[in-house]
A and B are shown apart, each in its own frame.
Chain A
Amino acid sequence: MTTIKASKTKPVPTFKQDKKSVYLTKQLNLWYGDNHALKNIDLDIKENEVTAIIGPSGCGKSTYIKTLNRMVELVPSVKTSGEILYRDRNIFDKDYGVEELRTRVGMVFQKPNPFPKSIYDNIAYGPRIHGIKNKKILNEIVEKSLRGAAIWDEVKDRLDQNAYSLSGGQQQRICIARALAIEPDVILMDEPTSALDPISTLKIEELVQELKKDYSIIIVTHNMQQAARISDKTAFFLNGEVIEYDETDVIFSNPADKRTEDYISGRFG
């Protein structure tokens, strides 16, 4: 019997090696007290890509994303081991200032959380903290950030209105604009559309596609179809471990691990 070979037109794209790593996680472990929440995580996250993190509730995906900007340290009794290299530098190094890290890494949360201020002041908040006082420069930053978050046309005539007067989807884009205003390198998104209606969700998804040209985006999502639609790579977390990390096309068409297949097919989780 002759051996059979698969045709060369396989739909499986190979990992592009030429892209630089933005985050390189090596053997990361994290404990909340006695609870071992992240176990030996190794992940190589590339720049100018959308990396989706999926997995059932409690699998550690939010913990992981909050570790990337060291927000997880706000939880008492957190202990970590291993390394996270951001642009080749270990973020756990004693001389690595957390403020410095967070000016490079913006974050958008599940529920839109604008400040109870005007739309303008929401966006100008970060730059002002960083010492920018010149009104003209601030105006430019505000417009550029709002345009970048695809909401400029909707709010340009009412920048002095309270951000709370906007819809949920608009508020979330204000939060993205606020993250863009400090000109970050990475944007972390923790379930950014789970509180939004389908149209707003679509707008955010389109925005993410647009933003990856200039930023690296890491997004935690419960919406599997969203991960399939918008991400380049997908990491599947389960019980604090990375079960599989591959091109999104592979994860959703022919995953290597049965647990990944079971999860994306809705057999558990």
Chain B
Amino acid sequence: MSVREKFDYELNSAQEQLILLSNMAVNALTKAVDALAAHDIDAALEVIEDDSDINQLEEEINDRVILLIAKQSPVATDLRRLIVIIKVATDMERVGDYAVNIAKETIRIGKEELLSPITEIQEMHRLATAMLNRVIEAFIEEDIVKAKEIAELDDQVDALYGEVINKLLVAGAQNPDKISQITQLAFVCRYMERSADHATNIAEQLFYLVRGRHYDLNK
């Protein structure tokens, strides 16, 4: 294997690990929200337990990329690709952390009957995971048109977030005994909204990778 082939092989391996990490994080998010809706404490505990795998994979990716930079002195697109891998790995690892947080809220809420906004929370989850899944696709294909569409979906998530928080405030006034659950659900909404923001971050990184310039897709 030539030096260049070895570099490409290592780069591809890091990319494959990143895709694996992304899928693990998105699956954790889905499992956490499903566990919340189903009051499934066991599933929530699994989400918390499995997060160490995500963290470990992120570390492996970072180590691999740092070693590649140190040994091969990559430049231009190669260098951007490696830097973007590290950044996307951080974003995805954070999504995994949100899944853990949601799992913890699930455990706190326990068997208590959920208030109505849970359907909107599930809708937020649907949008956020759609964004994350599509941004992974866009990343694999290095498709910035797709990346731009993902960023536009973020507006829907933000709008929904505002809506659900309002509903939770109204519900809080009507059900003062459920104020604890309402707070937990508000946090869950926040985690979902943040997850969608991370998808937007990744879309921006993709623009940087392809174009070599920084773009703000949040405008």
**Residues in chain A within 8 A of chain B (CB atoms):** 1-2, 4-7, 9-10, 12, 224-225, 228, 252-255, 261, 264-267
Contact = CB atoms under 8 A, between A and B. Distances in A.
Q: Is chain B's interface secondary structure helix, strand, loop, or mixed overall?
A: helix
A223 to B, nearest CB: 10
**Residue from A4, A253, A255, A264 with most neighbouring chain B CB atoms (10 Å):** A4
B159 to A, nearest CB: 17
A267 B75 CA distance: 12
The 10 A-B pairs of least Cβ separation, nearest first, read: A254-B212, A6-B213, A7-B214, A252-B75, A264-B75, A261-B76, A265-B78, A266-B4, A10-B213, A225-B73
B144 to A, nearest CB: 9
Contacts, number: 48
A7 B213 contact: yes
Interface string B204-219: 0001000111111101
Contacts of B187: none
A253 B214 contact: no
B4 A254 contact: no
B15 to A, nearest CB: 16
A253 B4 contact: no
Given A266-B4, A267-B4, A7 B215 contact: yes
A4 B76 contact: no
Given A6-B213, A224-B75, 12 more contacts: A1-B148, A1-B152, A7-B214, A7-B216, A10-B214, A228-B75, A252-B76, A253-B80, A254-B76, A265-B74, A265-B76, A266-B7
B219 to A, nearest CB: 8
Interface string B4-17: 10010000000000
Nearest to A258: B77
Contacts of A2: 219
A254 B213 contact: yes
30 contacts: A1-B148, A1-B152, A2-B219, A4-B148, A4-B215, A4-B217, A6-B211, A6-B214, A6-B215, A7-B213, A7-B214, A7-B216, A9-B214, A10-B213, A225-B73, A252-B75, A253-B79, A253-B80, A253-B212, A254-B76, A254-B212, A254-B213, A255-B76, A261-B76, A264-B75, A265-B4, A265-B77, A265-B78, A266-B4, A266-B7
Given A1-B148, A4-B148, A265 B215 contact: no
Interface in B32-83: 73-80
B3 interface: yes
A266 B77 CA distance: 12
Nearest to A264: B75
Contacts of A264: 75-76
A194 to B, nearest CB: 17
Nearest to B72: A266
Contacts of B212: 253-254
A9 B214 CA distance: 8
Interface in B120-138: none
Contacts of B79: 253
A4 B74 CA distance: 28
Nearest to B73: A225
Nearest to A8: B214
A228 B213 CA distance: 19
A12 B77 CA distance: 15
A259 B79 CA distance: 17
**Residue from B73, B79, B211, B212 with most neighbouring chain A CB atoms (10 Å):** B212
A265 B217 CA distance: 29
A266 B68 CA distance: 14
Given A1-B148, A7-B216, A266-B3, A261 B211 contact: no
A253 B148 contact: no
Given A1-B148, A4-B148, A265 B214 contact: no
A173 B7 CA distance: 36
